[in-house]
């Protein structure tokens, strides 16, 4: 491999990128656009659940229970209903996700030491959200029931009885329990996969359609030097996209960065290496820019979004789909970014993911060079 020929291809591709200023600006703006769009719009937090209340008892005890829900950040009381059947109407019209019904003899049963029933009605259309909302409501009711029981026992005993269990919770890595801290690092990996493969998926196909590939083939440049030079040119753009994405994640979304910036830079470079070559491989496979663009979108966007563990846990996928995820490079880079950002762990723990990215990049480079040799032949 000649460094002089490699540098010539690199210079040629860089000039082409700079001349197409609109595409360059779009490539640099996409990380910011995707991060702002998905970072704010895509949230796994379930809070401020719209809730309506039907209080048939209208007693201080029932109002105290309602206040427990209103004081929780997970529930937002949208209104108080005058009829039980209005709960169904509120859920049907999407005005509420949860309905709380307190029966007429609620306070009397409490005062007499009997069980006082409270009915919760939930919209189960979105089963995941409904399950989470049910868990929150169950926690509120259990805590309130425990306090009532403790107060009754204290009253009977004439003294303050201590709680049998003193639970002290400590949340590691994401103490605020905000989904953006989990989403944004993974989103950086997804964005880089999409942009990297899309940037290079047209580069070889464009040369064929413009008729300039024949001129390149008439030069002493070898196939490996050609694809490597093109990759390095777009590697500069990908590095700029990575810096933009990381800066936006830290400064705008305030995602904690607990790990090594050097490790993040090294693993990002390794991931870009494979993702860019994947786009070049697609471009070398097809001489049509339209087909190359469609293949690049299909093989980068969908696996990165659906099969990387970015949104859906890989462990919950069916076994055949889990097997497919093992060849998705975004899956490994999502683990790397989340581990470096949130947990601050190093290469001694993340070495398997780093090893896969290295093997993936090497394999795709060799396949791309071989494909170009076949094209030349």
Pick the CATH number of 49-157 from 3.40.1710.10, 3.30.450.40, 3.40.50.1700, 3.40.50.2300: 3.40.1710.10
Q: Can you tell me the distance from the alpha carbon of 156 to that of 44, in angstroms, rounded to the nearest whole number?
A: 45
How confident is the model over 75-123, as pLDDT tens digits? Answer: 999 999 988 889 988 988 888 999 999 888 888 888 777 788 888 999 8
Query: CB-based contacts of 134: which residues, under 8 Å, 6+ apart?
Result: 120, 122
Q: Can you tell me the distance from the alpha carbon of 58 to that of 283, in angstroms, rounded to the nearest whole number?
A: 70
Q: In angstroms, what CA-CA distances link 330 with 200, 276, 305?
A: 17, 13, 9
Q: Is 228 exposed, middle or buried (0-12, 13-18, 19+ CB in 10 A)?
A: buried
- What length does the chain have? 377
| 72 phi and psi angles, rounded to 5 deg | -80, 140
Please, what is the Cα angle at 278 between 274 and 279, to 5 degrees? 125
Closest Cα partner for 27 from 176, 163, 199?
Answer: 199
Domains of the chain, residue spans: 3-43+178-376, 49-157
Q: Quick one: which H or E segment has residue 335? A: helix 329-338
Do 246 and 32 touch, CB atoms closer than 8 A? no
Confidence at residue 54, expressed as pLDDT on a 0 to 100 scale: 92
Burial 334-365 (b: 16+ CB within 10 A, else e): bbbbbbbbbeebeeeebeebbebbeebbeebb
How confident is the model over 325-372, as pLDDT tens digits? Answer: 999 999 999 999 989 998 889 999 999 999 999 999 999 988 888 887
How confident is the model over 209-235, as pLDDT tens digits? Answer: 776 766 666 677 777 778 888 888 889
Percentage, residues of the chain above pLDDT 90? 17
For residue 262, pLDDT over 60 is answered with yes
- Locate 91 and state its tokens: 């859920």
Closest Cα partner for 275 from 222, 199, 373?
Answer: 199
Closest Cα partner for 61 from 148, 146, 140?
Answer: 148
3-state SS class at 192: helix
Q: Which residue has the tokens 């997970």?
A: 74
3-state SS class at 45: coil
């Amino acid at each position: 491999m000649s460094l002089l020929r490699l540098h010539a291809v690199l210079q040629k591709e860089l000039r082409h990128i700079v001349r197409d200023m609109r595409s360059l600006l779009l490539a640099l703006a996409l990380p910011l656009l995707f991060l702002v769009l998905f970072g704010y719009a895509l949230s796994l937090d379930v809070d401020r659940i719209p809730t309506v209340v039907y209080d048939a008892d209208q007693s201080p005890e029932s109002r105290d229970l309602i206040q427990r829900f209103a004081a929780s950040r997970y529930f937002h009381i949208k209104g108080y209903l005058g009829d039980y059947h209005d709960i169904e109407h509120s859920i049907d019209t999407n005005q509420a996700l949860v309905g709380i019904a307190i029966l007429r003899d609620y306070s009397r049963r409490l005062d007499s030491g009997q069980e006082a029933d409270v009915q919760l009605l939930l919209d189960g259309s979105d089963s995941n959200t409904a399950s989470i909302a049910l868990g929150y409501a169950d926690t509120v009711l259990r805590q309130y029931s425990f306090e009532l029981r403790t107060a009754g026992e204290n009253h009977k005993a004439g003294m303050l009885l201590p709680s049998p269990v003193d639970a002290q919770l400590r949340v590691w890595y994401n103490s605020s329990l905000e989904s953006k801290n989990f989403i944004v690092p993974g989103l950086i990996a997804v964005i880089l996969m999409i942009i990297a493969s899309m940037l290079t998926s047209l580069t070889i196909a464009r040369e064929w359609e413009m008729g300039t590939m024949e001129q390149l083939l008439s030069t002493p440049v070898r196939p490996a030097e050609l694809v490597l030079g093109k990759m390095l040119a777009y590697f500069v753009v990908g590095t700029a996209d990575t810096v933009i994405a990381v800066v936006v994640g830290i400064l705008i979304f305030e995602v904690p960065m607990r790990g090594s910036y050097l490790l993040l830079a090294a693993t990002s470079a390794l991931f870009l290496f494979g993702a860019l070559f994947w786009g070049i491989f697609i471009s070398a496979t097809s001489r049509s820019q339209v087909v190359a663009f469609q293949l690049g979108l299909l093989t980068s966007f969908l696996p990165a979004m659906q099969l990387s563990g970015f949104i859906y846990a890989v462990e919950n996928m069916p076994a055949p789909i889990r097997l497919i995820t093992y060849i998705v490079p975004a899956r490994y880079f999502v683990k790397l970014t989340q581990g470096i950002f949130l947990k601050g762990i190093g290469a001694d723990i993340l070495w398997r993911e780093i090893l896969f990215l290295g093997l993936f990049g090497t394999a795709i480079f060799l396949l791309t060079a071989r494909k170009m040799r076949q094209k030349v032949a």
